[in-house]
Amino acid sequence: MQSPELREQDLSEMGSLVQSRVVLEVSSQVQTLLDSLDSATLDIGVTGESGAGKSTLINALRGLSDSDPRAAPTGVVETTAAPTPYPHPGLPNVRLWDLPGTGTPSFRAERYLEQVELERYDFFLLVASERFRESHAQLARAVAAAGKRFYFIRSKVDQDLQASRRRRPARFEEGQVLAEIRADCIWQLEKEGAAAPRVFLLSGFQLHRYDFPRLQATLAGELDGHKRHALLLALPAVTADAVRQRKESLRRHIWKKALLACLVSALPGLPLQLSVPLLMETVASYRRSFGLDEESLRALAGAVASSPRRLRAQVRSALGRELSPAAVQDVLNQAAFCGQAAARLARARLPLLENLVAGGISFVAAYALLHSALESFAGDAQRVLEAAYGSGDEGAPGSPCYPPHPGFLYD
């Protein structure tokens, strides 16, 4: 017969075995949830007449200047002959497809859509510069008939405004000119049978201006779940609203990251410190996502002809200024002991996990760290945008002014 001590030892071993199995099982489930988020694809077909500004728009939406080696070729003699995917620099599953130009004399919308494999795309951006043409209407009808969404992009509005200013310098009123162009596009599309067409006036050289914020909000409102999340992280966050939406989208997934970090620190055989790098990686991805890392700040400074130092001065959060394991550990300690607002939020939202302290990092502390990092980075990003664009100096019309590096989410 076994001694009571032995039985106790057996029980305790069995207990830790069960615990490690549970920890492994739950962490792999959480990892699967995070993986499915990262693997969400988004395929955007960018179509329209040759020379309308499709490739320029694709580069701007990817946060790249035309001279970047990863950029789509642009210019008066560069013509796209076959559908070419351009992945987002930090989110490879988000692809912008540069489609061949439309509007040749033999153009037939149905055949064109078949050739470019219509089914591949989540939606289309139909780009037109200058006058409205028959091929635009044909394409709009065919895309809608195939059950796909399209958004009509009237490009190069900086050029229209410049021409209009030259024509009537005394009576020039930007808002009025834009309203006229918008109304004309809507009228033409409706005349050709498009129901409630969505029209957006853009400049690939000054993406943060005109209707881009409205386009971004409309796209986000018409996509669901993981695709919406991908879009919100991929498109350049050049307005206060876009920064807010990006923050909200990331915030929804904090609990998974916090839980994973907490569970990883409980896995037997792994050093306790492993979860700090994991949290640090997440915080670093948030920082890039808001364009606060050195590379993004430099790119933005170059684009708006400002100094990186001036923009960097707007980054006031501790983790935005210096991201190191010690800084992360510091915030974790504070969160664990101070009962911060974010920690209270974690308790209120996920009371079941409140008492989860695995291997030294509590779920509440990890949650509080990520929550406060997100809040403070969003505040920094707003100030950086204000410093970059808010001075009223929008750049001369027609001069390239690219959006900030859109930031990535690698993990």
Ligand X SMILES: Nc1nc2c(ncn2[C@@H]2O[C@H](COP(=O)(O)OP(=O)(O)OP(=O)(O)O)[C@@H](O)[C@H]2O)c(=O)[nH]1
**Which residues contact ligand X (rule: CB under 6 A)?**
50-56, 74-76, 78-80, 101, 155-156, 158-159, 203-205, 398
Concatenated DSSP letters of 275-342: HHHHHHHHHHHHHHHTT-SHHHHHHHHHHTT--HHHHHTT--SHHHH---HHHHHHHHHHHHHH--HH
| Listed residue (133, 71, 78, 131) closest to 102, CA to CA | 133
What residue 212 binds from Mg ion, ligand X, none (CB within 5 to 8 A, per partner kind)?
A: none
**How far is the C-alpha of 37 from the C-alpha of 272, rounded, in Å?**
27
Provide, rounded to whole angstroms, the least separation between the CB of residue 73 and ligand X: 7
Decide whether 80 or 289 has the Cβ nearer to Mg ion: 80
The 55-94 contact track toward Mg ion, x by CB under 5 A, reads: x------------------------x--------------
**How far is the C-alpha of 104 from the C-alpha of 49, rounded, in Å?**
8
Provide, rounded to whole angstroms, the least separation between the CB of residue 360 and ligand X: 54
What residue 197 binds from Mg ion, ligand X, none (CB within 5 to 8 A, per partner kind)?
A: none
Provide, rounded to whole angstroms, the least separation between the CB of residue 211 and ligand X: 12
Maximum pairwise Cα distance, the chain: 105
What residue 92 binds from ligand X, Mg ion, none (CB within 5 to 8 A, per partner kind)?
A: none
The CB-side HSE value for 324 (13 A sphere, CA atoms) comes to 5
Decide whether 76 or 352 has the Cβ nearer to ligand X: 76
Provide, rounded to whole angstroms, the least separation between the CB of residue 179 and ligand X: 19
Instruction: List all residues 6 or more positions away from 400 whose beta carbon is below 8 Å from its beta carbon.
Output: 65, 66, 205, 303
| Residue 265 found at the interface with Mg ion (CB under 5 A) | no
Decide whether 58 or 370 has the Cβ nearer to Mg ion: 58
Identify which range of 47-55, 180-188, 385-393, 398-406 contacts Mg ion by CB under 5 A. 47-55
What residue 86 binds from Mg ion, ligand X, none (CB within 5 to 8 A, per partner kind)?
A: none
**How far is the C-alpha of 202 from the C-alpha of 148, rounded, in Å?**
22
